[in-house]
Amino acid sequence: MNKDILSLLDLERKDFELFFKRALELKKNQRKSIEKRPLAGKTLGLIFDKPSTRTRLSFEVAMIQLGGASIFISSKDTQMVRNEPVRDTARVLSRYLDGLAIRTYSQDLLKEFAEFSTIPVINALTDLYHPCQVLSDLMTVIEYKGGYENLKTTWVGDGNNVSHSWINAAAVLGLNLVLACPEGYYPDADILETALERGHGSIIVTSDPVEAVKHADVIYTDVWASMGQESEHSVRKRIFEPFQVDKELLKNASKDVIIMHCLPVHRGEEMSEEVLECPNSVVWDQSENKLHMHKAILEVLIK
């Protein structure tokens, strides 16, 4: 296993499997009130340059439940705001902390942190990827569908950071993934090419959401304008309208399709209220599983 999780391409199939197994066990243990403190005395730093509810809180609670501690570091309150270089900050923080979860804009900045840190660095979302999100999402798929093999997963909406992590996962695990995105909002061409070169599973990009969701077992959507794209919101709203996951679109999918969204959701935009609240929607379990998956990740990476 690599020291860091910067993207899902850092993981091999066996790493994915280890995380799924351990996260499912930890969830079961929590239900039975079995508590262990493997990270007693360890501290996780959380550097967040963008807002977060689920990711921040679930990492913090994960550390508490594992017997460790976490420190939230708002980058504007550190010397980074006065241009202390990342490479210096990374080396200093490595002397205090046992792991770092970072949510920021640039994947390159995250990479630099990882390069100069001697501790594990975990991507808690960048403009390019959201790997831990998709790990916990796949855990949810396993819970509902018994596995991820032989399923058709359809991404509907923006070819964004979360979709890129799904593409990476599809490449490593050999998933059958279809992405329906408006033209001009397709996933990154290099990320797609790298995934296709691996030759595992099937990854198709189309601009036809109706065709894309036909017989889908999993439908996933996300916001139309991600953090940092707020100024594009009204333009995107118009372009993405035919990509709303609503009852009409769902008619084309399998009857027992599960509906997923990483949250926060914009009701009436990427998903209708009716679909969000329908029995096929698993969004709240998805949220919960972030906690169990983050516990598994921390337990494995922080020794």
Site membership for ligand CP, residue 165 (CB under 6 A): no
71, 227, 239, 276: residue in contact with ligand NVA (rule CB under 6 A): 227
Site membership for ligand CP, residue 54 (CB under 6 A): yes
Q: Which does 169 bind (CB under 5 to 8 A by kind): ligand NVA, ligand CP, none?
A: none
Q: Cβ 40 to ligand CP, closest distance in Å?
A: 26
Mask 95-134, x = binds ligand NVA (CB under 6 A)? ------------------------------x---------
Site membership for ligand NVA, residue 262 (CB under 6 A): yes
Question: Considering only 14-22, 88-96, 219-227, 242-250, which stretch makes contact with ligand NVA by CB under 6 A?
Answer: 219-227
Question: Considering only 5-13, 154-162, 166-174, 274-282, which stretch makes contact with ligand NVA by CB under 6 A?
Answer: 154-162
Say how many CA atoms lie within 13 Å of 98 toward its Cβ: 17
Site membership for ligand CP, residue 74 (CB under 6 A): no
Q: Cβ 162 to ligand NVA, closest distance in Å?
A: 5
Q: Cβ 149 to ligand NVA, closest distance in Å?
A: 26
Give the integer Cα–Cα distance in Å for 166 and 168.
Answer: 5
Say how many CA atoms lie within 13 Å of 52 toward its Cβ: 26
Site membership for ligand CP, residue 123 (CB under 6 A): no
Q: Which residue, 30 or 229, has its beta carbon nearer to ligand NVA?
A: 229
Site membership for ligand CP, residue 106 (CB under 6 A): no
Is the distance from CB of 54 to CB of 261 less than 8 angstroms?
Answer: no
